[in-house]
Amino acid sequence: MQSQTASEPVDDSSSPHPRSADSSTSTAAASNETWREFAYENRNTIAAVTASFCSTVAGFPLDSVKSRLQVKRYSSVLDCARRTYAEEGIRGFFRGVTIPLVTITLVRTASFSIYTWTKDDLQRRNVLTGETVGSTALAGFLGGAASGLLLSVGTTAFEYTKIKLQLEYLIAMKKGVPYVPRGTIKGFLDLYRAGGILGLYTGFRLHALRDTLGTGLYFGMYDSAQHVIRNNPDVFENVPTTLSIFICGSVAGVSSWAAIYPVDLVKAHTQRNALADLAYESPVSIFKRLSAGGVTKLYRGLGVSAGRSVFTHGLMWTILEKTRSAIARRAGPEDSDARIE
C-alpha cells in the first residue's frame, strides 16, 4: 500500500468551508496591513489633524477674549470674560469657531508639510544639517517662514471672517444698532458682497508679515529647544518626555507670539476699522497712536494671549508628538524611531 505523497490532495471535508475561512483570514490580514502602512506613511498628517482640532477647541475662548481686549476697554481679563458671558452667554466665547476648526486644522497640516519639506531639502543640500543648535534653529525658522508666507494667502480671508464674528456684537453696540447674529458662512458672504475678493483680504500685508515672522520663530524655537534636550541627556534625564514636549511647545508659542504681538494688534485695529466703516488709518498711524502712551500699550491683551499660547501650543505639541510616536510604535517597522522627525 502506497503512502500518501505531499502532492496528493488533503481531505479537509471534516472542516466546514475551510478554504473560505482561510481566504477571509488572509483578506482581513491584508486589509489590516494596508491600514497600518497608510497610518505609518501619513503619521504626521494624522497627528497634526488630531492635535490641531483638540487645541483649537480648547483654546478658542481665550482667543475670543484676546480679540475683544484688543479693540475695547475692559478693566481686566476677568471683566471681559464676565461681561461676555452676561451679554452673550457661553456661545459668545465660541462665536466664529467653525471656520478656525476647519481652516486651522488644514493650515497646520499644510504648515507642518511645508516646514518639514523645507528642512529636509536644506539637509539634502547640506546647507543646514541640524548638527548644531544654531543650524537647527535656522532650518526651523526658514521652514516655518516659508510655511507662514505661503499659507497667509489662503488664511487671511478666513481669519478676517473670524474677527468679524467675534466683534460684530461690540460693533453693533457701538453703532447703536440692533445686533443680528450671523453664521460663519453668512459672515463670509457679507464681507465678499461688501468688498469683493479684495475686501476679504483687508489687512493682508500685516497678516503675511505676522505669519512669516511668527511661524518662523515658532518652529525655530521649538526645534532648537528639542535639540538642546536631546543632546543633553544627563541634564534632562529626570524630566518626563511629556513635560519636556509641553514646555518646548509652550515656550515656542508664547515667545514667538510676544515677538509679533504688536503686528497682530495693528492688524486687529486695521480690520476693526474696516468692519466698523471708520475712516481709513494707515498701519503706521495706528502704530504711532497705540504706542503714544508707551511701548506697553502695544501689548494690550498680551496676558490672555500668553496664557492661550502656553496652553494651546503646549497641548498641541504634546498631542502631536504622542500621536505620531504611538503610530510609529504600532504601525511602523520594528527598527523605526518612535520619534519621527
Q: What is the pLDDT of residues 220-232, one digit of tens each?
A: 999 999 999 989 9
- Least Cα distance to 276 among 164, 195, 198, 155 occurs for 164
Label residue 176 exposed, middle or buried (CB < 10 Å: 0-12, 13-18, 19+): exposed
Where are the alpha helices (H) located in 176-282, listed in sequence order? 184-200, 204-230, 233-236, 241-275
Q: Spell out the domains of the chain, with CATH numbers in brackets.
A: 44-331 (1.50.40.10)
Distance CA 332, CA 188 (A): 42
pLDDT for 84 beyond 80: yes
R_g of the chain computed on alpha carbons: 26
Cβ atoms within 10 Å, residue 189: 13
Q: What is the pTM of this model?
A: 0.75
pLDDT at 9 over 70: no
Lowest mean pLDDT among 79-88, 98-107, 158-167, 316-325: 98-107
Q: Among all chains, which residue has been given the C-alpha cell 491683551?
A: 301
Residue with cell 543633553: 232
pLDDT band at 142 (very low <50, low <70, confident <90, very high): very high
Percent of the chain with pLDDT over 90: 31
Q: What confidence tier does 18 reach under pLDDT thresholds 50, 70, 90?
A: low
Q: What's the pLDDT score for residue 24? A: 63
Name the average pLDDT for the chain.
83
Q: How far apart are CA 327 and CA 163, in angstroms?
A: 36
Name the residue among 282, 283, 312 with its Cα closest to residue 298.
Answer: 283
